[in-house]
Amino acid sequence: MTGTAADADGALGFPEGFIWGASTAAYQIEGAPDADGKGPSVWDTFSHTPGKVRGGDTGDIACDSYHRYREDVALMASLGLKSYRFSISWPRVQPGGRGAANQRGLDYYRALLDELASHGIAATATLYHWDLPQELQDEGGWAVRDTAERFAEYAALTAAALGDRVTRWITLNEPQVVANNGYRTGDHAPGLRDAVAAAATTHHLLLSHGLATQALRSAGAAEVGITLDVHPVRVSGGAGSDALERGRLITDAMANGLYLEPVLHGRYPVHAPEAMLPAASLIADGDLETIRQPLDFLGLNYYSPIFLRAGEPSDLRRNENYARCQVPGVVEYLPEDLERTNMGWLVDPSGLHQILVQVSEQAPGLPLYVTENGRAAEDYVNPEGAVDDLERVRYLHAHLEAAARAIKDGANLAGYFVWSLLDNFEWGWGYQKRFGIVFVDFGTQRRIPKSSAHFYSGVVRANAIPLLPGS
Interface contacts to ligand FCB, rule CB under 6 A: 25, 28, 173-174, 177, 229, 301, 372, 419, 426-427, 435
Quick check: 126 and 173 in contact, CB under 8 A?
A: yes
User: Among 261, 372, 391, 426, which one carries the catalytic annotation?
Assistant: 372
Residue nearer to ligand FCB on the CB measure, 6 or 177 = 177
Exposure class string for 245-256: b at 16+ Cβ within 10 A, else e:
ebbbbbbbbbbb
Residue nearer to ligand FCB on the CB measure, 23 or 167 = 23
Residue nearer to ligand FCB on the CB measure, 35 or 345 = 345
Residue nearer to ligand FCB on the CB measure, 177 or 448 = 177
Name the minimum Å distance from CB 426 to ligand FCB.
Answer: 6
Cα 24 from Cα 368, distance rounded (Å):
19
Cα 228 from Cα 363, distance rounded (Å):
14
CA proximity to 404, closest of 9, 3, 2: 9
User: Which residues are CB-contacts of 113 (< 8 A; sequence separation ≥ 6)?
Assistant: 123, 162, 165, 166
- Helices then strands, counting H and E runs in the chain, come out as 15, 14
Name the minimum Å distance from CB 177 to ligand FCB.
Answer: 6
Name the minimum Å distance from CB 301 to ligand FCB.
Answer: 6
- How far apart, in Å, are the Cα atoms of 9 and each of 114, 408, 413, 463? 40, 10, 18, 15
Residue nearer to ligand FCB on the CB measure, 142 or 419 = 419
CA proximity to 58, closest of 404, 426, 361: 426
**Could you give the angle at the alpha carbon of 207 between the alpha carbons of 269 and 417, nearest 5°?**
80
Residue 372 parent element (H or E): strand 368-372
User: Which residues are CB-contacts of 430 (< 8 A; sequence separation ≥ 6)?
Assistant: 53, 54, 55, 56, 57
Name the minimum Å distance from CB 173 to ligand FCB.
Answer: 5
Cα 375 from Cα 418, distance rounded (Å):
9
Residue nearer to ligand FCB on the CB measure, 327 or 418 = 418
Q: Is 238 helix (H, G, I), strand (E, B) or coil?
A: coil
Name the minimum Å distance from CB 38 to ligand FCB.
Answer: 19
Half-sphere exposure of 255 (CA within 13 A, CB side): 24
Cα 150 from Cα 21, distance rounded (Å):
30
Half-sphere exposure of 318 (CA within 13 A, CB side): 1
Query: Which amino acid, residue 220?
Result: G
Name the minimum Å distance from CB 401 to ligand FCB.
Answer: 21
User: Which residues are CB-contacts of 235 (< 8 A; sequence separation ≥ 6)?
Assistant: 244, 245, 247, 248, 307, 308, 309
Name the minimum Å distance from CB 80 to ligand FCB.
Answer: 23
Name the minimum Å distance from CB 26 to ligand FCB.
Answer: 10
Show the 3-state SS of 185-223. CCCCCCCCCCHHHHHHHHHHHHHHHHHHHHHHHHCCCCE
- How far apart, in Å, are the Cα atoms of 383 and each of 172, 387, 444, 454? 41, 9, 17, 19
Residue nearer to ligand FCB on the CB measure, 229 or 389 = 229
Cα 420 from Cα 32, distance rounded (Å):
20
Residue nearer to ligand FCB on the CB measure, 29 or 162 = 29
User: Among 30, 115, 174, 261, which one carries the catalytic annotation?
Assistant: 174
CA proximity to 177, closest of 167, 187, 164: 187
Name the minimum Å distance from CB 420 to ligand FCB.
Answer: 7
**372 is annotated as an active-site residue:** yes
Q: What is the residue-wise DSSP string for 383-420?
A: TTS----HHHHHHHHHHHHHHHHHHHTT--EEEEEEE-
Residue nearer to ligand FCB on the CB measure, 177 or 381 = 177
**139 is annotated as an active-site residue:** no
| Residues taking part in catalysis | 174, 372
